Amino acid sequence: MKTESIKNEFVKVRMDSATLQLLEQARTHVNLDKSKFIRQSIQEKAAAIIAEHETTHFNTEDWQMFFSMLDKPPEPTKRMKKAAKLHQEIIDKDKA
């Protein structure tokens, strides 16, 4: 089943002649009309920005701590034990 997007939103954009010339040159290389090239470029850039902001990045020290804790996990705290007990009570209640 093919889904079609209805293109009923409009965006007016002002740009300088150098940017417009760059856009024209780039779009001719990929053989797209101006609207499709702009839409595709926005989608790619937006997806990259979202991925960058929704990705967790670890430095070397973070990775070392992470793997160290996997190898030797700390003892559970009172709060963790309480949470586990409450979770188990909820699970047992649902089974009954």
pLDDT tens-digit series, residues 12-69: 999 999 999 999 999 999 999 999 999 999 999 999 999 999 998 899 999 999 999 9
Q: Which of 66, 46, 69, 43 lies closest to 56, judged by CA?
A: 66
Count the domains in the chain. 2
Which structural domain range is residue 81 located in? Answer: 60-95
> Which residue, among 87, 91, 71, 68, has the nearest Cα to 79 in the 3D structure?
87
Q: Are residues 69 and 89 both part of a single domain?
A: yes
DSSP code for 75: P
What is the 8-class DSSP label of residue 54? Answer: T
pLDDT band at 7 (very low <50, low <70, confident <90, very high): confident
Residues in the chain: 96
Distance from the Cα of residue 43 to its chain's centroid:
13
**Which residues contact residue 40 at a Cβ distance below 8 angstroms, ignoring those fewer than 6 apart?**
32
Same domain, 64 and 47: no
* Structure tokens that stand for 33 in this block: 């009309």
Q: What is the pTM of this model?
A: 0.56
pLDDT at 84: 95
- Is there a single domain that holds both residue 47 and residue 67? no
Residue 9 confidence (pLDDT): 84
